[in-house]
Structure 1
Amino acid sequence: MHLPLNALRAFEASARHLNLTRAAQELHVTQTAVSQHIRKLEDRLGKPLFRRLPRGLALTDEGQALLPVVVESFGNLQRALEKLGDTRPREVLTVGAVGTFAVGWLLPRLRDFQQACPFVDLRLLTHNNRVDMAGEGLDYAIRFGDGAWHGTQADRIMDAPMSVMCSPALAHGLRTAADLARQPLLRSYRTDEWTAWFEAAGAPCPVVRGAVFDSSLTLAEAAAQGAGMALLPVKMFARELQQGRLAQPFAQELHRGAYWLTRLQSRPATGAMTAFRDWLLAQASAGAGGSTGTSTSAEKLE
């Protein structure tokens, strides 16, 4: 069945306003033209779409069934035309991100970035905070630390305070920091974190003998499965806390660094790089109260 677009547009506008006059004003045609389009559409369908009232319109059951389909179809058509009308050439952007940040923060927002910057062809790689930007051909690297890496410009994305996390079952028996001495203390490659956390909590640090992990993702999974206690960045595991897979038995946090967006100082920024940086920092600022900054280092090695 051939259904003319003008008739469907007249139907959609009239259904939205429930008024022929306002629909005609929006479409820049006469009220008579809108009414004729609707009549033709109803004749083709063999069903009434509106009930004419003294002061407007009301959708019939058939009209109510048709409206969401028409709205979705026009929306899909508009988005397709916008993509075709974007004359900017697609640019490849290669970003290496520490896995914890990629999974815990970036991936849930990836669809928003794709919609905001459709001309960027993103290549996302993950790492465990050790990268060779030149050797791996990275435009950007997102990593955790103090923002001082040799030969890089670094933009602070957000602070990442860490806290003790474990399975809910293990959390039930914890009342004070001293109770942790009875549990395995799982470790990252940053060997002094537990010592620093206990110092901040005002308690002596027990002997740390837990397994060592090179990724916070595997460290968190081990904790969720009951292998012991883990120090993890709270913002990156908010979903697991909400789902009840992890528990945070103590409020005490350890501030040891932030997540940074880094690029080589020798790497000129492309349009795709600028778009990604602006989007990323805006997202982080909106969600974290604006804790962003910039650091440049040519001295301290990672």
Structure 2
Amino acid sequence: MDIRALSLNTLRAFEAAARHLNFTRAADELCVTQAAVSQQVRMLETHIGKALFRRTTRGLVLSDEGVVLAPVVSDALGRMSAALAVVAGQGVREILTVGAVGTFAVSFLIERLPDFQAAHPGIEVRLLTNNNAVDLWTESLDLAIRFGDGSWHGVATERLMPAPMTPMCSPRLADQIRHPGDLARFTLLRSYRLQDWAAWFEQAQVKGTVANGPVFDASHLMATAAIRGMGVALLPLAMFGRERESGLLVNPFDLAVDRGSYWLTRLSSRPMSDAMHAFSDWLIGLTRTHP
């Protein structure tokens, strides 16, 4: 199909509308009217003979064809901008937007990120944190670090590291714990994954203990609460080695339960840019050597 009949404005209008899933916000970004964005999108749909959006009761969504086309157009426009910067003598500075589950970002990534920046000064990393509820496309993420089993629809995944979980608490509380059943006497801090404690107790062969403590949307927040003596938290060992070495947190038992791993993810339909390759190779290399 000949794309020379399409204007750059048409592609920019579609890319903005697909990213925002809202013609009005796309128009505001492009400094045009909502009608102009709608017209450009219709021109593109007419050119390819397919609808790119569907209207639902929840708002605008991409059609199957739109899901395929949107990341390709976004990548192409980004590459054009980078090439224009080179021609204009401004050098290359590629922006890489990475989403990361908060605990991984705080406990592992942030202290190592300066090493990546030093090795790749032409890449500007934008790091966004989340509580594992992430949408790569609507949030305009190049890559996302997530926790789970790696089975997300339409997403390419690379396993970074396992994250077995075990109870952790302050030394004062640890002194009062001798057996897994003793945990029933303490406040059990919970994450949004409400079945984690049940899975650990099942593995420990303890029956009848129900976790009913406060709920946190990130393990690093729950760890802070545990350090302050609020209760016992079920935390991934790989993320809290420093706190255990310093004595801020104690894990009373060697028993850990596997509830998932950390994964590096991207849209399957999104071509890999040089920056995405560089960051992926660097991060995967780091996690392969992490104890």
Note the C-alpha offset of 1:116.
2.1
What is the alpha-carbon distance in structure 1 between the residues aligned to residue 211 and residue 129 of structure 2? 28
Task: Name 2:241's counterpart in structure 1.
Answer: 238
Unaligned runs of 5+ in 2: 1-89
Deviations 1:24-46 (A, max 9, x none): xxxxxxxxxxxxxxxxxxxxxxx
Please give the residue correspondences for 1:134-149 in structure 2 after superposition, counting only pairs within 5 Å. Answer: 134-149=137-152
Note the C-alpha offset of 1:205.
4.1
**One-letter amino acid matched to 2:104:** F
Note the C-alpha offset of 1:117.
1.8
What is the alpha-carbon distance in structure 1 between the residues aligned to residue 208 and residue 263 of structure 2? 30
Pick which of 236-245 and 251-260 moved more.
236-245
Could you tell me the TM-score, scaled by structure 2's length? 0.67
What is the alpha-carbon distance in structure 1 between the residues aligned to residue 108 and residue 212 of structure 2? 30
Task: Name 1:213's counterpart in structure 2.
Answer: 216
What is the alpha-carbon distance in structure 1 between the residues aligned to residue 223 and residue 242 of structure 2? 12
Larger radius of gyration: 1
In the superposition, relative to structure 1, how do residues 180 and 135 fare at CA in structure 2: closer, same or farther (>3 Å)? Answer: same
What is the alpha-carbon distance in structure 1 between the residues aligned to residue 261 and residue 170 of structure 2? 25
Task: Name 2:194's counterpart in structure 1.
Answer: 191
Note the C-alpha offset of 1:139.
0.2
Could you tell me the TM-score, scaled by structure 1's length? 0.65
Cα pair 2:150 2:263 within 8 Å, conserved? yes
Task: Name 1:225's counterpart in structure 2.
Answer: 228
Helix, strand or coil at the partner of 2:92: coil
Cα pair 1:199 1:205 within 8 Å, conserved? no
What is the alpha-carbon distance in structure 1 between the residues aligned to residue 208 and residue 272 of structure 2? 46
- In the alignment, structure 1 residue 118 sits paired with structure 2 residue 149: no
What is the alpha-carbon distance in structure 2 between the residues aligned to residue 278 and residue 210 of structure 1? 40
Note the C-alpha offset of 1:246.
1.1
Note the C-alpha offset of 1:207.
2.5
Deviations 1:183-214 (A, max 9, x none): 01111111111111011112224122111111
What is the alpha-carbon distance in structure 2 between the residues aligned to residue 255 and residue 149 of structure 1? 18
- In the alignment, structure 1 residue 266 sits paired with structure 2 residue 269: yes
Among 73, 92, 99, the alignment partner of 2:95 is: 92
Deviations 1:154-197 (A, max 9, x none): 00000011110011110001110011010011111111111110
Task: Name 1:164's counterpart in structure 2.
Answer: 167
* % identity of equivalent residues: 55
**One-letter amino acid matched to 2:253:** F
Note the C-alpha offset of 1:132.
1.4
**One-letter amino acid matched to 1:267:** R
What is the alpha-carbon distance in structure 2 between the residues aligned to residue 266 and residue 188 of structure 1? 32
What is the alpha-carbon distance in structure 2 between the residues aligned to residue 209 and residue 146 of structure 1? 25
Cα pair 2:148 2:262 within 8 Å, conserved? yes
**One-letter amino acid matched to 1:260:** W
Cα pair 1:140 1:263 within 8 Å, conserved? yes
What is the alpha-carbon distance in structure 2 between the residues aligned to residue 243 and residue 107 of structure 1? 19
Please give the residue correspondences for 1:255-294 in structure 2 after superposition, counting only pairs within 5 Å. Answer: 255-288=258-291
Note the C-alpha offset of 1:277.
0.3
What is the alpha-carbon distance in structure 1 between the residues aligned to residue 198 and residue 208 of structure 2? 6
What is the alpha-carbon distance in structure 2 between the residues aligned to residue 112 and residue 208 of structure 1? 40
In the superposition, relative to structure 1, how do residues 205 and 275 fare at CA in structure 2: closer, same or farther (>3 Å)? Answer: farther
What is the alpha-carbon distance in structure 2 between the residues aligned to residue 154 and residue 184 of structure 1? 36
What is the alpha-carbon distance in structure 2 between the residues aligned to residue 234 and residue 287 of structure 1? 12
Helix, strand or coil at the partner of 1:254: coil
Task: Name 2:49's counterpart in structure 1.
Answer: none
Number of residues of Structure 1 aligned to a counterpart in Structure 2: 202
What is the alpha-carbon distance in structure 1 between the residues aligned to residue 210 and residue 287 of structure 2? 37
Please give the residue correspondences for 1:59-98 in structure 2 after superposition, counting only pairs within 5 Å. Answer: 89-98=92-101
